[in-house]
Structure 1
Amino acid sequence: MNHDASAPAGDPAQILHDVLIVGGGLVGASLAIALQGQGLQVGLVEAAPPGALPAVFDERNLSFAEATVNALGALGVLQKLRAPAGAIRRIHISRRGDFGRSLLDAQRYGRDEFGRVVVARDFGDALEARLAELPQLLRYRPVRFVGLAEDDDGARAIRVADAGGERVLRARLLVAADGTRSGVREALGIAADEHDYGQTLFVTRLRAERAPDGTAYERLDEGGPTALLPRGDGHYGLVHGVLRERADAVSAMDEAAFLAHAQDAFGWRAGRFLACGARSAYPAQRVLAQRCTAARAVLVGNAAQTIHPIGAQGFNLGLRDALTLAELIAAARADDAAADCGGAGLLADYQRRRAQDRERTIAFSDGLARVTSNESPLLRPLRSLGLFAADRLPSAQAWLVGGAMGYRGDVPALCRGARA
């Protein structure tokens, strides 16, 4: 039964969830959808009340890799989008002050597109519409995670609170999908390694002289990326990185000054920047959990790894976390209908299967962010050579393209086009 915590069917403390997900954002909601149809008792703990979306569903532009498009289509989410998505048919990469550039074209690889651009708010609406169709999902909202409770034999217990006070929820498997500053990760005693890139990223909708033609641009310099993503509404999604010490000054700019600032960083490939919407600002940081599992608990998405948005890998990586977990649970239950979703063997398999994709994607994102923001003149010829190689060498292009489309390591079947 799909219900809110404010009107539970029975006493939630007496329910033993097979899987309890804390966090109803992009990855947590996607996991809840992926787990349906397996006969599981799944609970979703959400801070946002009914009728409201979590804060993460804002004006940010999400770049979905092909693997993500495949999976979300199989899960019935993309079909719920009410606004058109923008196709990414080409990826243009360059760095200010360096020679060379790399242009990746999907047609060279027998594809019409590398992926699609979706506004986070629109994606949130689509996820909500799909969640509303799940008859067995227990939704606890608005509810906040308070901490861990004393575990039962064979189950995790957590304390949550709403307007009526605290209660205890129990689960075979606890999933932390509660973001970069994960309260569940902290309660589990899992440390995280942090790095601040010293950059602030401004995000907005932008109208330019030339309408989007399917090309996604990534222009790099010491302040971070200035990216233009082709949206489906005739606008671009702009991500403009600046050094942290300049962020307040850029934030205080009026629209004309901000457009001129972003134009100077990006150049004129899209023509003159004409107008932009409201701006949001986010720090560029890397937060990596030192481990992704604990007894009857697993971290997914930004709770496991928050990475620099350069290359647009974050949500795609987090979704592959969720889909791998759902796939392992389905495989275990296919062998034994009473299989324990939080068993040590299953979590060990999860850690093993996610290792290569996680390590390679983090290394790619972090390495690109560090190398491209370093102004050392010694690095300029090396960067230019790298861009030249990426544009001319098939092996280098294939490596970039495979990562851009979401195919690193052991990829879940739904990402490869299997049906849910």
Structure 2
Amino acid sequence: MTSEKQNYDVVIVGGGLVGASLAIALDGAGWSVAQVEAVSSKADHQPSYDERNLALARASVNALSALGVWSFIGTTATPIKRIHITRRGEFGAVRLNAAEHDVADFGAVIPARELGNALLARLQQCVTLERICPASVTAIETNAVRIELQIKTAEGTRQLATRLLVGADGSDSFVRKSLGIAVDHHDYAQTAFVSTLTPERAMDGCAYERFTDSGPVALLPLSERRAGLVMTVPSEEAGVIAELDDTHFLDLVQQRFGYRLGRLARIGKRVNYPLRRTQAQSVTASRTVLVGNAAQTVHPIGAQGFNLGLRDALTLAELLIAARRDDADPGAATLLAQYAARRESDRSGVIAFSDGLVRFFGNEFLPLRVLRSLGMLALDRIAPLKQILALRGMGFRGEVPLLSRGIDPRDHDQQASDVHGIAP
């Protein structure tokens, strides 16, 4: 056991996709930053580097490019050029085309594992960041001027002190629990099955979201003519579906999705997880900020979860970089209040949007089915409404973080990057 206490300006607990992005954004900003992560610093080891296929909003692609992460991704990312939304058994569809909105694409699809490994490669280039892993936080104590952490490592126990603690440690956040931040839970009684498959017809950069009475089915374009599958089913049926062999599982997906892409074949490894919303009642506490899934876990419908969490990290990084220029306290109550205010509209809007879609498209009341179809027809034909939908889908809502516009806040005189552009 080591008794010497190490002091930092910022300690990030959690090394998943959001925590890693925040650490990269703060590297070289003038703060002393440490990141505490429970798993070893190796490719594919982090639990969030899993089998999911992430639909990254255009704002997220901009930010990852500005942070130097995108250069490690290469050809594993597939641009989303079109979006097609339907409801099985109903008329009407919403079709979005990036070219109609004067952008090259709405974003990109990338396996979570590939994004995680790209973040890891970029982390290894960080100059001022100290990564402590594998290590876990075992105790947290707060006072007016700093937070003291006890962490367990392979070499023994270490003592850390920080002026700002960032909880980026997931839905079951130890930081959130230790500080007594209350949480609102909602069980959707749904389970998501995630896999890859190969459709008979090429997707040509089109992402499909098809709503059904049993839950939504999404097919996302991937490289090598593959598609990323997210199929939601009632949790009471999940056990039986999990036991299906590949042939019968594909038959179920085909029945739910239809034949718009022809025959579906070659199902990959399948994983499933229950869908629950976890929403912290506050995203801040004394000298503490929550980001990503520690702050909120949302339904995967509309592919908003990681994009929302990334905007948490980008906003916090922007505020901390500005505070460093002003030689301010990174854990000051005024900074934390500013962060909470900046995130409120985006956070509440995305949570309401995700919940609303689940309820709206899951309701089988006949008059609502007709209104739903008429609404989709209208949305598909009214250009200003489609523009609003496209902008929000691309992550441009509320006070957009500078990095989401391709601007590095560490160089506040820099003009917006034209590599991926910004929304009109």
TM (normalized to structure 1)?
A: 0.94
1:154-175 per-position Cα deviation (integer Å, ceiling 9, x unaligned): 1111222123443322111000
Task: Choose which of 175, 179, 183 in structure 2 pairs with 1:188.
Answer: 179
How far apart are the structure 2 equivalents of 1:207 and 1:72? 28
- The Cα of 1:191 is off from its aligned counterpart by 0.8
How far apart are the structure 1 equivalents of 2:301 and 2:310? 17
Contact 1:204–1:279 (Cα < 8 Å) also in 2? yes
1:242 aligns with 2:233: yes
- The Cα of 1:386 is off from its aligned counterpart by 2.0
1:258-273 alignment, distance < 5 Å: 258-273=249-264
Partner of 2:146: 155
Partner of 2:191: 200
- The Cα of 1:83 is off from its aligned counterpart by 4.2
- The Cα of 1:153 is off from its aligned counterpart by 4.8
1:353-390 per-position Cα deviation (integer Å, ceiling 9, x unaligned): 11111111111111001111122223201211221122
How far apart are the structure 2 equivalents of 1:13 and 1:253? 55
Task: Choose which of 332, 356, 381 in structure 1 pairs with 2:370.
Answer: 381
- Number of aligned residue pairs: give it: 408
1:231 aligns with 2:222: yes
1:71 aligns with 2:63: yes
Letter in 1 for 2:78: G
**Residue 91 of structure 1 aligns to a residue in which SS?**
strand
Contact 2:138–2:152 (Cα < 8 Å) also in 1? yes
- The Cα of 1:235 is off from its aligned counterpart by 0.7
Task: Choose which of 20, 37, 47 in structure 1 pairs with 2:28.
Answer: 37
Cα distance 1:162–1:248, how it changes in 2: closer, same or farther (>3 A)?
same
Cα distance 1:270–1:12, how it changes in 2: closer, same or farther (>3 A)?
farther
Point out the more displaced range, 162-171 or 215-224: 162-171
How far apart are the structure 1 equivalents of 2:370 and 2:344? 33
1:34-67 per-position Cα deviation (integer Å, ceiling 9, x unaligned): 0112111111111111325211101210111010
Partner of 1:278: 269
Letter in 2 for 1:374: N
1:185-215 per-position Cα deviation (integer Å, ceiling 9, x unaligned): 1111011111111111000111110122010
1:70-219 alignment, distance < 5 Å: 70-149=62-141, 151=142, 153-219=144-210
Point out the more displaced range, 82-91 or 114-123: 82-91
1:289 aligns with 2:294: no
Partner of 2:412: none
- The Cα of 1:299 is off from its aligned counterpart by 0.4
Contact 1:83–1:122 (Cα < 8 Å) also in 2? no
How far apart are the structure 2 equivalents of 1:363 and 1:354? 14
**Residue 100 of structure 2 aligns to a residue in which SS?**
helix
Partner of 2:350: 361
Contact 2:30–2:324 (Cα < 8 Å) also in 1? no
Letter in 2 for 1:72: L
Partner of 1:26: 17
Partner of 1:62: 54
**Residue 237 of structure 1 aligns to a residue in which SS?**
strand
Point out the more displaced range, 344-353 or 384-393: 384-393
Partner of 1:3: none
**Residue 366 of structure 2 aligns to a residue in which SS?**
coil
How far apart are the structure 1 equivalents of 2:279 and 2:378? 30
- The Cα of 1:224 is off from its aligned counterpart by 2.0
How far apart are the structure 2 equivalents of 1:167 and 1:374? 53
List runs of 5+ in structure 1 lacking aligned partners.
Answer: 1-5
Contact 1:87–1:232 (Cα < 8 Å) also in 2? no
Letter in 2 for 1:349: Q
Cα distance 1:255–1:13, how it changes in 2: closer, same or farther (>3 A)?
farther
1:74-113 per-position Cα deviation (integer Å, ceiling 9, x unaligned): 0000111144211100000011122211001111111110
**Residue 340 of structure 1 aligns to a residue in which SS?**
coil
Partner of 1:312: 303
TM (normalized to structure 2)?
A: 0.93
List runs of 5+ in structure 2 lacking aligned partners.
Answer: 410-424
How far apart are the structure 2 equivalents of 1:227 and 1:289? 28
Cα distance 1:381–1:141, how it changes in 2: closer, same or farther (>3 A)?
same
Runs of 4+ aligned residues of structure 1 deviating over 4 Å after TM superposition are none
**Residue 185 of structure 2 aligns to a residue in which SS?**
strand
1:340 aligns with 2:329: yes
Task: Choose which of 381, 389, 406 in structure 2 pairs with 1:400.
Answer: 389
How far apart are the structure 1 equivalents of 2:372 and 2:96? 17
How far apart are the structure 2 equivalents of 1:12 and 1:267? 63
How far apart are the structure 2 equivalents of 1:163 and 1:378? 61
Task: Provide the alpha-carbon RMSD of the alignment.
Answer: 1.5
How far apart are the structure 2 equivalents of 1:123 and 1:201? 21
